[in-house]
Amino acid sequence: MTPFGEKLRELREARGITLKTLAADFGVSAAYLSALEHGHRGKPPWRFVQHTIAYFNIIWDEADELNRLAQLSAPRVIVDTSGLSSRATELANRLAREVKGLEPEDLAAMLAILEERKTKRKTG
């Protein structure tokens, strides 16, 4: 599942909207929406994200968050470590190989480290 797909399912289910109804309202197939929710489709197009924001009447910070989630929803990622240290290359390769076996708390801890670094860069 992708971050955007998870949020889309959450929005749809919270409002009691079926996959079939949402697909008809969006003018896409239910198979496409299902694939998007389950992470079998890549990052959604910008227009789709904007349509989702309008459809669910999402405003301000929540709309920004949905856009952010869409940008982070490519299920196949390429990490270019050329020009970086050997440790950066090792990290990218090990993460690619081992991400499937990580526990939710491990993922949360790694994401927290990245968020902390992002905050430090903004304030520093």
- In this predicted model, what pLDDT tens digit does every residue of 7-46 receive, in sequence order? 999 999 999 999 999 999 999 999 999 999 998 998 999 9
Do 91 and 63 sit in the same domain of this protein?
no
- pLDDT, residue 5, reads 95
Do 60 and 103 sit in the same domain of this protein?
no
pTM of the entire structure? 0.77
Tens of pLDDT, residues 65-101: 999 999 999 888 899 999 999 999 999 999 999 999 9
We report the CATH number of the domain holding residue 45 as 1.10.260.40
- Measured between alpha carbons, how far is 47 from 36 in angstroms, rounded to an integer? 14
Write the single-letter amino acid at 36. L
Report if residue 102 sits inside a domain: yes
Q: Are 30 and 20 in contact (CB under 8 A)?
A: yes
Q: Where are the alpha helices (DSSP H) in the chain?
A: 3-14, 19-26, 30-38, 46-55, 60-71, 86-98, 104-123
Structural domain count, the chain: 2
Write the single-letter amino acid at 16. G
What is the span of the domain harbouring residue 63? 3-71
Report if residue 64 sits inside a domain: yes
The DSSP 8-state label assigned to residue 100 in this structure reads G
Report if residue 117 sits inside a domain: yes
- Measured between alpha carbons, how far is 38 from 2 in angstroms, rounded to an integer? 7
Q: From residue 30, how far is each of 18, 51, 62 by CA, in Å?
A: 9, 16, 25
- pLDDT, residue 76, reads 85
